[in-house]
Amino acid sequence: MPSSSIRWAGAQPQAMLSPPAPVAVFLVVTIKPGGEPEALDLLAGLAGLVRAVGFPSPDGGLCCVAGVGSAAWDRLFGGPRPAQLHPFQELEGSRHHAVATPGDLLFHIRATRTDLCFALAAEIMKRLRDAVTVQDEVQAFAYFDSRNVLGFVDGTENPVGQAAAEAAIVGDEDPAFTGGSYAIVQKYLHDVDAWEALAVEAQEKVIGRSKLTNIELDVPGSHIDVNTVTGPDGEELEILRGAMPFGRPGHGEFGTYFIAYARTPEIPEAMLRKMFLGGRESGPDPILDYSQAVTGTLFFIPSVTFLEAIPERSVTD
How far is the C-alpha of 2 from the C-alpha of 13, rounded, in Å? 11
The vertex-100 CA angle with 99 and 104, nearest 5°, equals: 150
Name the residue nearer to ligand HEM (CB basis): 180 or 268. Answer: 268
- Per-residue binding string, ligand HEM, 231-260, x by CB under 6 A, is --------x----------------x-x-x
84 forms part of the interface with ligand HEM (CB under 6 A): no
Nearest approach, Cβ of residue 64 and ligand HEM (Å): 22
How near is the Cβ of 229 to ligand HEM at its closest, in Å? 7
Judged by CB under 6 A, the stretch of 83-91, 106-114, 125-133, 147-155 that binds ligand HEM is: 147-155
272 binds ligand HEM (CB under 6 A): yes
Binding part of the chain for ligand HEM, among 58-66, 82-90, 152-160, 299-307 by CB under 6 A, reads 152-160
| Per-residue binder mask for ligand HEM (CB under 6 A), 31-50, x = binder | --------------------
4-10 own/partner pairs: CB under 8 Å, 24+ apart: 4/63, 6/165, 7/179, 8/165, 8/169, 8/170, 8/171, 8/178, 8/179, 8/303, 9/171, 9/172, 9/175, 9/178, 9/179, 10/178, 10/179, 10/305
Q: Give the whole-angstrom CA distance, residue 105 versus residue 134.
A: 10
Nearest partner of 95 among 283, 282, 281, judged by Cα: 283
Q: Of 23, 165, 168, 287, which lies in the binding site for ligand HEM, with binding defined by CB under 6 A?
A: 287
24 binds ligand HEM (CB under 6 A): no
Residue 57 Cβ vs ligand HEM, minimum distance, rounded to whole Å: 29
Four-point Cα dihedral 122, 71, 8, 1, nearest 10: 40
Q: Output phi, psi for 154, to 5 deg.
A: -120, 130
Nearer to ligand HEM, 41 or 216 (CB): 216
Q: Is 107:27 a contact under the CB 8 Å cutoff?
A: yes
Q: How many CA atoms lie within 13 A of 269 on its CB side?
A: 18
CA 51 from centroid of its chain's CA atoms: 22
Specify the DSSP element, H or E, that contains 85: none
Q: Nearest approach, Cβ of 94 to ligand HEM (angstroms)?
A: 18
Please compute Rg for the chain using Cα positions.
19
Q: Which residues are catalytic?
A: 154
Find the binder of ligand HEM among 74, 115, 137, 157 (CB under 6 A): 157
Judged by CB under 6 A, the residue of 101, 148, 181, 295 near ligand HEM is 148
Stretch that binds ligand HEM, among 13-21, 35-43, 127-135, 269-277 (CB under 6 A): 269-277
- Of all residues in the shown chain, the one whose CB is closest to ligand HEM is 157
User: What stretches of the chain show up as alpha helix (H) in DSSP?
Assistant: 36-54, 70-77, 114-128, 161-168, 192-196, 200-207, 223-226, 266-276, 304-308, 310-313
The span of 106-114, 131-139, 155-163, 193-201 binding ligand HEM (CB under 6 A) equals 155-163
Question: Closer CB to ligand HEM, residue 74 or residue 92?
Answer: 92
Q: By CB under 6 A, name the binding residues for ligand HEM.
A: 148, 150, 152-157, 186, 188, 207, 209, 223-224, 227-228, 239, 256, 258, 260, 268, 271-272, 275, 287, 291
